[in-house]
Amino acid sequence: MRQLGLNLPFLVNNTVGVTTVAQTANDMRVRSGFNLSLNPSAVNPVTVRLRAVNPDSVFPNVDQWNFGLQRLLPGDWVVTLDYVGTKGSHLSTLRNLNQQLFTSSGTGTGIIPHPALGPIEFRDNGGNSIYHGG
């Protein structure tokens, strides 16, 4: 659930190019990394990655099971047969809610659901997994 702490004003990513640590670049003191201002009007919402978490999320769970047989054969040979299984439910997934829409043939439409915003990273727990091995 640390996803929300990655939003403004808690996280600010700046790319700076200055010659000394005493200079200020992109409203950031390079020496300390401290923002001089987080003026909301200076933030371009198209370049900011918003992060959200499904408020109805539940805890993920993983079930594991195994079964094995072992037999001693004549001539001091041993035969072992093992099976293992794992199933994960409600696993965390990340998806971009502001991703370009696609047609059924897989080509991009160029349409973005919220063009005034940048990527919207949404954490949900709709993932599942299953593994069987022998």
Q: What is the pLDDT along the chain (134 residues), one digit of tens a residue?
A: 566 667 666 666 555 566 666 666 555 555 555 555 555 666 777 877 888 888 898 999 999 999 999 999 999 999 999 999 999 999 999 999 999 888 888 888 888 998 988 888 899 999 999 999 99
What per-residue confidence (pLDDT) applies to 70?
96
What per-residue confidence (pLDDT) applies to 90?
96
Confidence (pTM)? 0.60
How would DSSP label each residue in 70-116?
EEEETTTEEEEEEEEEEEEEEEEEEEETTPPPB-TTS-B-S--SSTT
